[in-house]
Structure 1
């Protein structure tokens, strides 16, 4: 007959992810378009499969699966989420590693990543009531519910805007649309002070990159931070960050987040 202690040990061995998600879990939303979805090493039609140490799996880094369950995170992080695209390395995994290795957080902290990005999407496709917006809210709420009351929504990481560089009108409207998006997310998640870290564009799909970058910097809402990707290495498609660039961006996002603690 198995005693209570032995039974508990068996359950922990059988369900390690569930037990980890019940620890102190910091939940981060990853949203935007392709550079958040991850194209590192995947710009030539297939992913090269290279996973740097800063992107390696860890039992303390989870991702919310397409089926809305926590699982151990691994690259490509947006598999099954950023649909109809060849996926590679993004900033999420190096961000999580950098946060955990900072020694700022308690040693039992778990990072839960909620991938929501979709390639080639303008910010209008993320407005309240759209499919992408509602999917993001559904996945975020499911992530918190899966934490069993031990999770905290720590931040929304946002890398988007390349698609808004095509038309001048979209570029000029970007500041207002971004501010509306942030207000809507905060209201719908009942978190009026939710931290949002947006990435300044490194590239664009059109010629109005400078206008969108200025619009991003023009967002004046409280608790919205800005991390600039300009200058990071770009792949040979002139649009997507390389794998080393994604690793660097993840570290930059982590530094921005940790500075708020």
Structure 2
């Protein structure tokens, strides 16, 4: 009989080798924005219920760049140890990745790079700022071991609905932000999938939504989250089932950038 510690060590080494090999040939997606991208599905009264739907379950072909900048098998909550000031739950990322692999096996291994931080205004994501620089560092580390950044998933704007000045400036700030991301990643045609708000923190939600829906760029797709179910009582964050639905919507929108006439 093989001693337990030897078999356990072999398992760990085998998993590490598998991840290292997979990381050399992966399709990378950056997940950024604020709380609904970070994931609050199942979080009530500052506690996550721990429920992970099948569509968001772990898959050996889906990896996550963790807070230590190492690849590991991805699992919900994706933004644990990333969005450190908040309680994280289910977001759209795992449902997106599982749906993508189900629809198109050519993507092989998916590498997710979680970068979203809850409660952030788009002005905090300005080029050269702390959040932007951290996101860029994580994105650039992600490709060092091999792989290609295939897409940028962005869900943000709730914090910009609080005052009229932010809401009025949102479209120009968003346009500049997307341009900066593409420039700094040296990917001028990088597919960007953004989410139009389902809800907002303030009275100018419609103004921000209009800015999102009217922003037009090559290889930009906008997924509208309005109408997806929201968690009570705050009615700000998407429920777990809504996050699953959003993940699938993000997949469909991304595949349209690959096959624009489908």
Same fold (TM over 0.5): yes
Count the aligned residue pairs.
246
- The Cα shift of 1:118 comes to 0.1
Separation in structure 1 between the aligned mates of residue 16 and residue 121 of structure 2, nearest angstrom: 42
Partner of 1:155: 151
Partner of 1:22: 24
Matching of residues 80-229 of structure 1 within 5 Å: 80-102=81-103, 104-106=104-106, 109-147=108-146, 151-229=147-225
Separation in structure 1 between the aligned mates of residue 41 and residue 15 of structure 2, nearest angstrom: 34
2:31–2:93: 8 Å Cα contact kept in structure 1?
Answer: yes
CA 1:13–1:247: 2 relative to 1, 3 Å:
closer
2:19–2:73: 8 Å Cα contact kept in structure 1?
Answer: yes
Q: Secondary structure at the match of 1:50?
A: coil
Q: Secondary structure at the match of 1:260?
A: helix
1:239 to 225, 236, 239: 236
- The Cα shift of 1:83 comes to 1.6
- The Cα shift of 1:199 comes to 0.1
Partner of 1:55: 56
Separation in structure 1 between the aligned mates of residue 58 and residue 16 of structure 2, nearest angstrom: 18
Separation in structure 2 between the aligned mates of residue 210 and residue 43 of structure 1, nearest angstrom: 26
Q: Cα deviations across residues 207-236 of structure 1 (Å, max 9, x unaligned)?
A: 100000001112122111100000000000
Partner of 2:6: none
Partner of 1:259: 256
CA 1:166–1:143: 2 relative to 1, 3 Å:
same
Q: Secondary structure at the match of 2:105?
A: coil
- The Cα shift of 1:13 comes to 5.4
Q: Cα deviations across residues 132-156 of structure 1 (Å, max 9, x unaligned)?
A: 0000000000001132xxx111110
Separation in structure 1 between the aligned mates of residue 132 and residue 124 of structure 2, nearest angstrom: 8
**Normalising by structure 1, what TM-score?**
0.92
**Normalising by structure 2, what TM-score?**
0.91
- List gaps (5 residues or longer) in structure 1: 1-9
Separation in structure 1 between the aligned mates of residue 81 and residue 167 of structure 2, nearest angstrom: 30
CA 1:218–1:72: 2 relative to 1, 3 Å:
same
Separation in structure 2 between the aligned mates of residue 43 and residue 184 of structure 1, nearest angstrom: 36
Separation in structure 2 between the aligned mates of residue 235 and residue 137 of structure 1, nearest angstrom: 31
Q: Secondary structure at the match of 1:67?
A: coil
- List gaps (5 residues or longer) in structure 2: 1-11
Separation in structure 2 between the aligned mates of residue 53 and residue 140 of structure 1, nearest angstrom: 28
CA 1:14–1:168: 2 relative to 1, 3 Å:
closer
Q: Secondary structure at the match of 2:44?
A: coil
